[in-house]
Amino acid sequence: MADKKLRHEKAMCPSARAEPGATLLGLVGEDGHVSYLKDRIEVDQAFIDLVSKDGPPEERLRFASTCVEGRCRQWNGTRCGVLKDVAPYLGSGEGTSSLQPCSIRPACRWYRQDGPSACRTCPGVITEVPAMAGS
């Protein structure tokens, strides 16, 4: 029933900034891949303040929020361009048979655009890449 409801809501950006009301989507592991949370968790300012103490939260966590389409620099006029931009670095995820559970999949902008192939690339996307140590 929850999936049916998500299909009708506005598209969600799976690589949003940490802002009150955003959904905590997953955790960035040491391998640079996101492990998704099973359930949707909406974050508030207190959570953001807490996780910001160790630097930009987007380096360690992935958030989702309503897709703002033309108000985003990734929007190319008809669709989000993030996956196209990262494909040369991450590949298409082909050969990955199963998809990680995802709390926003039916509403996800990338899934709506590219289907399961988006979900295979998605775990490699980090919203804010940490600065290289020593640079």
Task: Kindly state whether residue 18 falls inside one of the protein's structural domains.
Answer: yes
- pLDDT for the residue numbered 133: 46
Does residue 24 form part of some domain? yes
Which residues does residue 12 pair with via DSSP β-bridges, in sequence order? 66, 108
Please write the tens of the pLDDT for every residue from 95-129.
556 788 899 999 999 999 999 989 988 998 988 88
pLDDT (mean) for 56-78: 95
Residue 6's pLDDT band (boundaries 50, 70, 90)? Answer: low
Residue 20 DSSP one-character state: T
Task: List pLDDT tens digits, range 69-99.
Answer: 999 999 999 999 998 888 777 765 555 567 8
pLDDT of the residue at 100: 86
Domain residues for the domain of 38 are 2-124
Asked if 118 and 111 touch (Cβ cutoff 8 Å), the reply is: yes
In a domain, 132, yes or no: no
Residue 134 belongs to some domain of the structure: no
> Is beta strand 12-16 parallel, antiparallel or unpaired with respect to 61-66?
antiparallel
Q: 131 in a domain, yes or no?
A: no
* Of 82, 114, 119, nearest in space to 97 by CA: 119
Q: Diameter of the chain by CA atoms?
A: 49
Residue 54 tokens read as: 């160790």
Whether 101 is in a domain gets the answer yes
Give a yes or no: residue 118 inside a domain. Answer: yes
Share of the chain above pLDDT 70, in %: 85
Predicted TM-score (pTM) of the model is 0.84
Provide mean pLDDT across the span 44-53. Answer: 97
Answer yes or no: is pLDDT of 130 > 80: no
Question: What's the rounded Cα separation, in Å, for the pair 125 and 15?
Answer: 8
Tell me, rounded to whole angstroms, the distance of Cα 56 from its chain centroid. Answer: 15
Confirm whether 129 is domain-assigned: no
Q: What percent of the chain has pLDDT over 90?
A: 65
CA distance 63 to 15: 6
Structural domain count of the chain: 1
